[in-house]
């Protein structure tokens, strides 16, 4: 992946905190970078790629899109930022959105059900 073309993010933001691997999909990062530009608000990544061990430790689903490098969680603590982030993610091709009290999960995992939004 050519990180020089990514304006708003650095590889370390997506590394697994357990093992340091960063196997995030280029397609996801490119769309995320576009979404960040469109939203006009900072995207603080709270979870990117996860190894199986770390995914288990945080209570992730056994088939989590984080394991395949398709998913990110973005901190979102107020309604206005949440709206801007979600709108931009959808406009930039994210087809799977999870909404938590303090974060938004976004993924583009092609092996999962598409065009869905859920709450935590």
Per residue in 88-112, pLDDT (tens digit) is 999 999 999 999 999 999 999 999 9
Residues 6+ apart with CB under 8 A from 34: 88, 92
Backbone angles phi, psi at 79, to 5 degrees: -60, -40
Domain membership of residue 34 (yes or no) is yes
Chain centroid to CA 116: 15
Give tens-digit pLDDT for 51-89.
Answer: 999 999 999 999 999 999 999 999 999 999 999 999 999
DSSP letter (8 states) at residue 62: T
**70 located within any domain:** yes
Instruction: Determine the pLDDT at residue 11.
Output: 97
Q: Give residue 55's pLDDT.
A: 98
Number of domains comprising the chain = 1
Q: Which of 60, 56, 51 is nearest to 105 (CA)?
A: 60
Q: Please determine, for residue 2, whether its predicted confidence score (pLDDT) is greater than 90.
A: no
pLDDT (tens digit per residue) in 37-46: 999 999 999 9
Q: Which domain holds residue 51?
A: 25-58+65-119
The answer to whether residue 47 is domain-embedded is yes
């Amino acid at each position: 992946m050519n990180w020089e073309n990514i304006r708003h993010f650095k590889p370390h933001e997506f590394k697994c905190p357990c093992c340091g691997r960063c196997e995030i999909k280029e397609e996801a990062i490119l769309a995320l970078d576009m979404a960040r530009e469109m939203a006009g608000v900072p995207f603080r990544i709270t979870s990117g790629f996860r190894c199986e061990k770390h995914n288990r430790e945080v209570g992730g689903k056994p088939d989590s899109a984080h394991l395949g490098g398709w998913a990110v969680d973005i901190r979102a603590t107020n309604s206005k930022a949440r709206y801007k982030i979600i709108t931009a993610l959808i406009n930039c091709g994210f087809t799977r959105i999870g909404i938590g009290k303090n974060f938004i999960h976004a993924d583009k995992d092609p092996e999962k059900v598409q065009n869905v939004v859920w709450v935590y």
